[in-house]
Amino acid sequence: MKILVVDDTVVYRQLLSKIVSDFENAEVIGTAPNGKIALSKIELKQPDLVLLDVFMPVMDGLKTLDQIKKQHPHIDVVMLSGMDKELVHVTMKALEAGALDFVPKPQGVSVEANMAELRAAISRLILMARTRKYSRQARALSRADKRHQPVSPKQPPLLMPYAEKKPRPRFQGPARKQEKTVPYTETRSYRKPGRIDVVVIGVSTGGPNALQEIVPQLDGDFPVPILVVQHMPPMFTDSLAARLNSTSSIRVVEGKDGQRVEKGVMYITPGGRHMIIKKDRDGNKVIRLTDSPPVNSCRPSVDVLFQSVAAVYGGNVLSVILTGMGNDGVSGVKAICRKGGYSIVQDEKSSVIWGMPGAVAEADEANEIVPLGRMASRIMGIAKKGNL
């Protein structure tokens, strides 16, 4: 991986360069103190990944990101962000503008602790960028192979198309006009979803944009609560909830300890804590937040929430796994499916990283594999049909 480090402070440029250089399969191909110099070096050296500071003189991170995405859309960009409210807000904007992910700058007093925190974050990001790079190459080779290899009509598909039939034309005046066909949903079983009392969503890398596409499309009379785990540090989940709430018909909040779970409300797990669902003395479902150790190296963890939901709601659960690195969520989806719940995952083509949804599909726990563009309508269809 060829990596460009962009930060206005000499200390951080040196620190990040040292960390990147320690990895066997990564190389620092240059550094830059601002976006203007960074763009000229990108043009010359074509890195695979840019580590980009949010606030810089001459040209800041947002403007630089915009230019990179316009001129070099294949280059991944990871933002380097502080943890105050203003920086959190700008970082969320950067994710919406196409940044792959972000790294919070450590706030510890120990240099060694800060180095260890950054090293762990950079290691994950390099792996993520490598995965995306080779996944893109594999898809390109696959498309090339398909162009040269005839497809036998006798060979059945591995997955049955969910909506392969052409939709019926609607009557529109004196003539009938055929609707446009939508991308089909793949399904791995003929089982139909049953009653749904709650929707649970697990998502990581690429999640803010995926949620921003899905949540505003949900109807304001959504019939059940929605519980979400988005892998993010503290402060960022609160900002995400506020941004989604401002653009959506349903209410979106960051979950609070002791809060009663209500239909038509989306609860996002606070960064840095696990969220579980319990019943109170009156039988109401309530949120509990815990500081128990990370699961799958994650806190919050999708598995922790999903397993608690399976225990409380039984099989009346729709689980949704969206784009993300790793395999957090597989055990939780299994627990829900064993109780009779229904599982859908985002497809590979529309995922930033097909790690989490791919892991559920590999475990044969995905009832449906759905493109992001159809995810909102599919969630609504399943949730509403199960509550008629």
Indicate the SS3 state at residue 131: helix
Check residue 138 and give its pLDDT. Answer: 52
The structure tokens listed for 105 are 């700058």
Contact 244, 266 (CB under 8 A): yes
Looking at residue 162, its amino acid is Y
CA separation for the pair 244, 56 (Å, rounded): 28
Check residue 166 and give its pLDDT. Answer: 38
- Out of 48, 53, 81, 204, pick the active-site residue: 204
Q: Beta strand pairing status for 198-203 and 251-254?
A: unpaired
DSSP per-residue codes, 164-207: -SPPPPEEETTEEEPPPP-PPPEES-SPPP---SEEEEEE-TTH
CATH 3.30.1300.30 fits 2-139, yes or no: no
Sequence-distant (6+) residues with CB within 8 A of 342 are: 191, 193, 194, 196, 317, 318, 319, 367, 382
> How high is the mean pLDDT in each 10-residue block of the chain (388 residues)?
94 91 90 96 95 92 95 93 78 91 80 84 86 63 49 39 39 41 54 90 95 96 97 91 96 97 97 96 95 95 98 96 95 97 96 94 96 96 78
Q: Which residues of 252-284 are buried (b: 16+ CB within 10 A; e: fewer)?
A: bebbeeebebeebbbbbbbbbbbbbbeeeeeee
Alpha carbon separation from 337 to 187, 314, 356, 365, 381 (Å, rounded): 15, 9, 16, 7, 19
Looking at residue 279, its amino acid is K
Q: Give me the residue spans of the domains in the chain.
A: 2-139, 186-385
User: Does 231 qualify as catalytic in the annotation?
Assistant: yes
Which one, of 139, 183, 193, 185, lies nearest residue 159 by Cα? 185
Q: What phi, psi does 344 have (nearest 5°)?
A: -130, 150
Contact 346, 323 (CB under 8 A): yes
| Same fold across 2-139 and 186-385 | yes
User: Does 40 qualify as catalytic in the annotation?
Assistant: no
Tell me the pTM: 0.82
CA 68 to chain centre: 22
The structure tokens listed for 149 are 């290899």
User: Does 148 qualify as catalytic in the annotation?
Assistant: no
Which one, of 317, 315, 266, lies nearest residue 287 by Cα? 266
- Out of 48, 197, 303, 328, pick the active-site residue: 328
The structure tokens listed for 133 are 């790079």
CA separation for the pair 343, 357 (Å, rounded): 10
209 by Cβ neighbours in 10 Å (0-12 / 13-18 / 19+) ranks as middle
The structure tokens listed for 93 are 């904007």
Which one, of 8, 13, 4, lies nearest residue 60 by Cα? 8
CATH 3.40.50.180 fits 186-385, yes or no: yes
Contact 229, 201 (CB under 8 A): yes
Q: Which residues of 97-117 are buried (b: 16+ CB within 10 A; e: fewer)?
A: bbbbbbbbbbeeeeeeeeeeb
Handedness of CA 18, 43, 25, 355 (dihedral sign): positive
- Out of 231, 343, 350, 351, pick the active-site residue: 231
